[in-house]
Chain A
Amino acid sequence: MLTFNLTLSGSDLLLLLPEIFLTLWLCVVLCLDFSLKRITHQQLAYLSIGGLGITGLMLIGMDVTGITGALFKNMFVLDHLALFFKILVVLATALVVFMSIDYVRDFRFFKGEYYCMVVMSAIGMMFMASSNDLLSVFVTLEFSTFGFYVLVAYLRDDIRSSEAGLKFFILGVFAAGLLAYGISLVYGETGTMVFSEMAGNQGSYGLAIGFILIFAALGFKIGAVPFHSWIPDTYQGAPTPVTAFLSIAPKGAALAILIRMFYVALASFKPMWVVVFVLASIVSMTYGNVVAIAQKNIKRLLAYSGIAQIGNIMIGLAAGTKQGSDAIMFFLLTYLFANLGAFAVIIAVSQVIRSDEIEDYNGLNRRSPFLAAAMLLFLLSLAGVPPLAGFIGKLYLFVAAMEQELYTLLVVGLVNIVISMYYYLIVVKKMYINEPTDPSPIAASMPIKVAVYVGIAGTLVLGIYPGPFIDWAVDATLMFSNIVAPVAALSVLPGS
């Protein structure tokens, strides 16, 4: 039976300090918003960024000094893996807030609350990165998604945004149902909620179904085929900064859970789940890339390309080794900069031309050489062209797959690079080769430029000097160095 008696000491609270601090900061921002009449939404945004910055520094400090531990009977674990993903989430959130400042100006209501919702989701995702048992997975997942339900439908006069919100909500709730059902099955079979205690359990059909249901719920979060159907419409309809947020932060947090769950709880069943990931990876990459070719809307294009990128990421999960998880984490970093950068450019362009159609990117090079060059870099990094970050990321994934002799996956992945290059090239062609219909220049505002510059810097630095960041990812997963023993694990399987 699950009993719960809470004992907390001051030093325990230290582990929760970043989350506690950010929660208090969020409350302060919220109070300032309604109590000071003259405070502008820009000031609130910069306040939020300040809070995120301090949180980020705390996390980095904890990572450097090695403050780790577990709380609440292992429900909440703070290790280097969790810290990596928390820093990722905080960085993404700060960039998203920068990108939002222009966009929020055009909102008619609830400007200040917007930032609160963003930060609240971020807190949820930080908890996700630390969740170490099924109950906390459920709670944190729903907590972070709750903020997104509101954010996606934030443009309440816009029919597309409302539609996106509704679709996201219905499918999200459905996924939550699957998750709860899966959790109940797993608990019934193993009698425990904590990942590390499940390891070494005998396999059974109930357990398998339970984990498949949990995988489906998390697959919904990361947008892997066949759980991707909400992605294109939601991406297109949601306010663009929210789309950018959706495209990286929840995926990162959900991957933290996936890595923990499969590497720790299900380590002994590796030969079985590898097959699942190989299939999901192949289908996601191929489907995402092929369908992306036909897209006319840049947000939809990035939505499908995101599905394909998740396919790439799952190459690392399919490898199922420490090398695989290192590759995933480094790839997520490269994806963060390139993808957020691309969305920042999209926001800058759409602020002026009020359109997200790829057709309207004609001659962007003439209208804003800076934005066009930045977009070129981001798209090439997403495609994996050296010497940009994406190339190193993909190289690592492929090396990890090769190490596990997953040749089919490797070949499919490489073929997909060619396919993806084709549609990224379509955008490049529009920007550079086609002539603009309206040659008036497009100027980007300062906050957007900050986001774009950070994206460019990240894309170049991670590509040209990836060493320290790879080391960071490698160090974060040290705890997995011992779990890669698929051959020995075979004997634990039922009937073998």
Chain B
Amino acid sequence: MTEMVIPSGGTPWLTLVLVIPLLGVAGILLAQESLSRQVALGVSTLCFLVSLPLWFLFDNGNGGMQFVEKHQWIESPSIHYALGVDGISMPLVLLTTLLTPLCILVSWTAIEQRRKEFMISLLVMETATIGVFAALDFVLFYVFWETMLIPMYLLIGVWGGPNRVYAAVKFFLYTLAGSILLLVAILVLYFEGGRTFDILTLTQAHYSPNLQSLVFWAFFAAFAVKVPMFPFHTWLPDAHVEAPTAGSVILASVLLKLGTYGFLRFSLPMLPDASVAFGPIIMALSVIAIIYGAYMALAQADLKKLIAYSSVSHMGFVTLGLFALNAQGIEGAMLQMINHGITTGALFMCVGIIYERTHSRQIVDNGGLAKAMPQFATFFVIFSLSSVGLPGMNSFVGEFLVLVGAFEWSKLTATLASLGIILAAAYILYMVQRIVYGPAASAMLPKLFDLNPREFGMLLPLVFFVFWIGLYPNPLLDVMHGSVNRVLASQSEIVTVDRGQQTDKPTRLVADGAVNSQPLTGKVQ
């Protein structure tokens, strides 16, 4: 049964994007071991190409779900195979399809053992993450959400570093414990929101404040672990350090976004009262994460650990922007999600490139690469500066918007958060200074050689995005506007009621286009 019109000529683009990696899995199973990486690369590139229509056919004026597909999956309780993307999820889908082929390129020579299984895990991950972003049915969402755990567990556990088993199990149990609470929340919403698993219907339902706070914390457990927010971040450095490069890239670029996506898609619009009520707690945790992550990054001697802690700090900006609950904050947070995916993914690729040559991730072992690897050094400096948030580069726009949003929420918060940027400058520049310009470690010199075409090719597209978003973010912001306004509309409804008397916030919240957003009932067109 299809109740809804599928725009763009009825081609089920999202299903195609979901299925192509799975076909790739079948292809790899049939192909010889030696061909598996070629098959995987071909399939994931194809998947990226097929996902491009999502961008080009996207209607910016429509803040609701597009490319919607809906079919009955199970009758009772009614569960649907329902897919769709809006301005929030579409960029994240594209980020995933872009990064997967790059991850395969990263692993081209780095993965020598059990290549077949490795490629299968990567492709299953791709389907699962895209599914999470595109699912419009809660059970379907949960299915993809959980499916992701096993391939990631294997990526870390089988191809990781020496302490990989510990890291893999820690990753698995942390996220599983979070997901179980998510399942509870989903079941509660099912019964309270009118016996449906349809995410859009559940978003429109109203829940009592008590219920909202219970569900909010259940969601929080699932999403905060994924983000990861302080104090649930401890699995991240372990997982990053032990994971193979491609695993780190996927983890940093895509997996962490699932948590913030969850907050944005579910917590804010479904639980507006609770989001306002508990906002200060989340904001405080975000500020702690920003400063603590940056502070920890300063002290790291291991490159991957350094970037992992910087992730904690950068993701703190994302949650900060989200729970500022205003247009600038949320759009900044979304940009920051994309930016972090590009920049941190690129930095992990760079670390992988170094590691393939010197077999060490210690900063002291890898000094003075500029002389031996000038091209690499150029890329590395670009991505590092992007991570610092240099104007003209991607992170600047995102962090700036987040700080503006946070400033409106509370001046103190914004001030404290900007400390994170200063600390970021400190740890990143200190790292760059030692890695790129420092004294060369003589033992490593013979092993160093500059980028080969493959490595060059996988870093180049990311440079493009760094500057594109940095210099001209409007196309991306335009995509997000409509959907962000919808989220805010659900917020402002209650904010005007609950806090309207005490503050002047509601007017500002509704400003910036939220006023002319369509009524919520017309969400799926």
Contact = CB atoms under 8 A, between A and B. Distances in A.
Verify that A and B bind, or say they do not.
yes
Interface of A: 365-366, 369, 376, 380, 385-387, 391-392, 395, 398-399, 402-403, 410-411, 414-415, 417-418, 421-422, 425, 428-429, 432-433, 466-467, 470-471, 474
A433 to B, nearest CB: 5
B524 interface: no
B157 A433 contact: yes
Given A385-B149, A418-B173, A470-B75, A391 B143 contact: yes
Given A386-B146, A398-B183, A471-B75, 4 more contacts: A391-B143, A391-B146, A402-B187, A425-B169
A395 B78 CA distance: 12
Contacts of B144: 386
B187 to A, nearest CB: 5
A398 B186 CA distance: 11
22 contacts: A365-B117, A385-B146, A385-B150, A386-B144, A387-B143, A391-B146, A392-B74, A399-B187, A402-B191, A414-B183, A414-B184, A415-B180, A418-B173, A421-B173, A421-B176, A425-B172, A429-B157, A433-B164, A466-B74, A467-B75, A471-B75, A474-B76
A217 to B, nearest CB: 34
Contacts of A398: 183, 187
A204 to B, nearest CB: 37
B342 interface: no
B150 A433 contact: no
Interface string B4-44: 00000000000000000000000000000000000000000
A421 B180 CA distance: 11
A432 B74 contact: no
Given A422-B173, A432-B157, A386 B143 contact: yes
Nearest to B191: A402
Interface core residue of A380, A415, A429, A470 (most chain B CB under 10 Å): A429
B246 interface: no
Nearest to B120: A373
Contact of B180 (A369, A414, A474): A414
A387 B77 CA distance: 17
A10 B364 CA distance: 91
B187 A410 contact: yes
Contacts of B172: 421, 425
B277 interface: no
A380 B142 CA distance: 15
A415 B183 CA distance: 11
B158 interface: yes
B496 interface: no
B165 interface: yes
B73 interface: yes
Q: Which 4 residue pairs across A and B have the least CB separation, nearest first?
A: A386-B143, A414-B180, A433-B157, A386-B146
B226 to A, nearest CB: 16
A392 B142 CA distance: 11
Given A387-B147, A402-B191, A425-B172, A467 B73 contact: yes
Nearest to B160: A433
Interface string B31-66: 000000000000000000000000000000000000
A242 B147 CA distance: 33
Nearest to B156: A433
B157 A410 contact: no
Contact of B147 (A369, A385, A418): A385
A385 B144 CA distance: 10
Contacts of A410: 184, 187
Contacts of B150: 376, 380, 385
A432 B75 contact: no
Contacts of B169: 425, 429
B85 interface: no
B471 interface: no
Nearest to A421: B176
A385 B151 CA distance: 12
Contacts of B153: 425, 428
Contact of B158 (A395, A417, A421, A432): A432
A91 B147 CA distance: 29
Interface in B243-258: none
Contacts, number: 74
A422 B176 CA distance: 10
A425 B175 CA distance: 14
B157 A417 contact: no
Contacts of A399: 77, 187, 190
B320 interface: no
Interface core residue of A415, A422, A433 (most chain B CB under 10 Å): A433
A429 B76 CA distance: 36
A467 B74 contact: yes
B299 interface: no
B147 A386 contact: yes
B177 interface: yes
Interface string B138-170: 010011101101100110011000001100110
Contacts of B154: 432
Contacts of A467: 73-75
B73 A429 contact: no
A391 to B, nearest CB: 7
A226 B164 CA distance: 39
B415 to A, nearest CB: 40
Given A365-B117, A410-B187, A471-B75, A418 B143 contact: no
B191 A365 contact: no
A425 to B, nearest CB: 6
A472 to B, nearest CB: 12
Given A365-B114, A432-B154, A470 B146 contact: no
Given A386-B142, A418-B176, A467-B75, A433 B165 contact: yes
B143 to A, nearest CB: 4
Contacts of A422: 173
Nearest to A395: B139
Contacts of A369: 117
A433 B168 CA distance: 10
A419 B139 CA distance: 22
Given A386-B146, A391-B143, A402-B187, A418 B158 contact: no
A422 B181 CA distance: 17
A453 B176 CA distance: 28
Contacts of B168: 429, 433
B173 to A, nearest CB: 7
A417 B142 contact: no
Nearest to B145: A386
B445 to A, nearest CB: 34
B335 to A, nearest CB: 32
Contacts of A415: 180
A403 B154 CA distance: 36
A422 B76 CA distance: 31
A471 B183 CA distance: 24
B19 to A, nearest CB: 13
Interface string B413-452: 0000000000000000000000000000000000000000
A429 B172 CA distance: 12
B53 to A, nearest CB: 26
Interface string B61-101: 00000000000011111000000000000000000000000
Interface string B458-478: 000000000000000000000
Contacts of B176: 417-418, 421
A376 B150 CA distance: 10
Nearest to A385: B146
B478 to A, nearest CB: 35
Interface string B113-142: 010010000000000000000000001001
A391 B180 CA distance: 12
A418 B183 CA distance: 12
B95 to A, nearest CB: 23
Nearest to A434: B165
Contacts of B143: 386-387, 391
Contacts of A428: 153
B238 to A, nearest CB: 15
B184 A411 contact: yes
